[in-house]
Amino acid sequence: MENCFVYLSGPITAKHGFSVEENVAGAVKIYLALLELDIPAFCPHLSGAFPSAFEVDYTRWIEYDLVVIARCTDVLMLPRWETSRGALIEREHANGLGIPVHESVEALYAAISRRASA
C-alpha cells in the first residue's frame, strides 16, 4: 500500500513475565504480517533487540521513537502495550499529532483501505 507507514508500539524491555526476546519475537511476527499485506512499517523492536541497544539511554530511545512516529501515517499498538511506559508515551504522542492509533492489524488494514479508496 502506498502512502502509509506504520509504527509498531509495544513492550520491548523484560517486564511482567515476558523477556526481551519474547517481546521482540511477537513484534517481529506482526511486522512480517504487515509486510505480507504490503503495509510498510517501522519495528523499533529490531533496533532494541540486542544487548548493546541497552547501552543507549532510555530517554534517547524515546526521543528517537517520537521523531519516527511523527513521520508515520499510523501507529499500531501491539499486545500488552498498556504495560509499556514507552508505548504509553508513543500513543499519547501520536494522538497529539493526530496520527491514527489502532489496536489490531484488522482495524489498521481497514483504515488504510478506506483511505486508499477515498
Question: In the prediction, which pLDDT does 113 show?
Answer: 93
Question: In the prediction, which pLDDT does 90 show?
Answer: 98
Question: In the prediction, which pLDDT does 51 show?
Answer: 59
Phi, psi torsion values for 8, nearest 5 degrees: -95, 125
Residues in the chain, pLDDT under 50: none
Question: In the prediction, which pLDDT does 55 show?
Answer: 78
Separation of alpha carbons 38 and 113, rounded Å? 12
Question: In the prediction, which pLDDT does 53 show?
Answer: 58
Q: What are 18's strand-pairing partners? A: 15
Tell me the domains of the chain and their CATH numbers: 6-117 (3.40.50.10400)
